Amino acid sequence: MGELKGPIGRAARHLCVDMQVLFSPQGPWPAPWSARVLPVVMMLAERSPQHTIFTRFIPPRQAEEMPGVWRDYYRKWRAVTRERLDPAMLELMAGLRHLAPPATLFDKMVYSAFADGRLHGALRADGVDTLIVTGSETDVCVLSSVLGAVDHGYRVILARDAVCSSSDQAHDAMLTLYRTRFDLQIELAEAGEILEAWKP
C-alpha cells in the first residue's frame, strides 16, 4: 500500500544515494541488501536517466584532511581512505554505471547530499521541486539526505523497496520514523507505484 499524494511530474528528479561498490557485498562497508534492491533502483533510474542524480560517497585521501570527529572516524577506517582504497570501490554498482551520462554524478564527502549547498543550487536552477529517493543506507546517508531535502522544502518520495542498510533493525526503525514522524513531508511508496505516477 503506497502513500503517494498525487502524480509525479517533470519537475521531479530521482536522487539515488551512494549505490557504489563500496557498499556492495564485495565492498569494505557492505550493505548486503544492496544486491536485492539494485534491480529496483535500476528500474527507476532507467525510466529517465537524464532525470537521475547518482551521489557517490568519497572518503578523504587521509584522515587528517577531514575536520573534527571525521578525523577520528577515518583513523578507525584508514583502509577506506583514498590512499589505501581501490578506486574501483568508489564507482557505481554494475547495472548503474552505463546510465551516467546522461545521469548526473554528484560526489560528496559527508552523509548528506545537501551539506555544502551545491546540490540544492543545481536543483533549484533546474526548477526541481520533487525528489524520488533510493539508495544506501536507509539509516545513514539516505536519512541525512532526506532530511536535508525536507529542510529545503522539496516534496520527498522514498521508494520503500529501493533503499537498504547493513542493519535490519535500523532500516525498519527508519521506515517507521519516516512514516509516523514525517508523514506530512515524506511519502513512502513501492517503486512500481512511483513508476506509474511519474511522468518525466
- What CATH number does the domain containing 154 carry? 3.40.50.850
Dihedral of alpha carbons 70, 162, 34, 183, sign = positive
Cα–Cα distance measured from residue 13 to residue 166, given in angstroms and rounded to the nearest whole number = 26
| Amino acid of residue 114 | F
In this prediction, residue 2 carries a pLDDT of: 59
Domain membership of residue 73 (yes or no) is no
Number of domains in the chain: 1
Helical (H) or strand (E) element with 75:
helix 69-76
Cα–Cα distance measured from residue 65 to residue 138, given in angstroms and rounded to the nearest whole number = 27
Whole-prediction pTM: 0.96
With CA atoms as reference, report the closest residue to 162 among 11, 18, 8.
Answer: 18
Cα–Cα distance measured from residue 103 to residue 94, given in angstroms and rounded to the nearest whole number = 15
Residue tagged 533493525 (cell numbers)? 169
Q: How many residues does the chain have?
A: 200
Domain membership of residue 172 (yes or no) is yes
Domain membership of residue 1 (yes or no) is no
Cell output for 44: 527507476
Exposed, middle or buried by CB within 10 Å (0-12, 13-18, 19+), for 2? middle
| Amino acid of residue 98 | H
pLDDT tens readout for residues 97-151:
999 999 999 999 999 999 999 999 999 999 999 999 999 999 999 999 999 999 9
In this prediction, residue 1 carries a pLDDT of: 45
Domain membership of residue 68 (yes or no) is no
Domain that holds residue 188: 12-60+88-197
Domain membership of residue 128 (yes or no) is yes
Domain membership of residue 153 (yes or no) is yes
With CA atoms as reference, report the closest residue to 130 among 5, 18, 39, 17.
Answer: 5
Domain membership of residue 94 (yes or no) is yes
In this prediction, residue 3 carries a pLDDT of: 81
User: Residues of the chain whose pLDDT is less than 50?
Assistant: 1
Domain membership of residue 79 (yes or no) is no
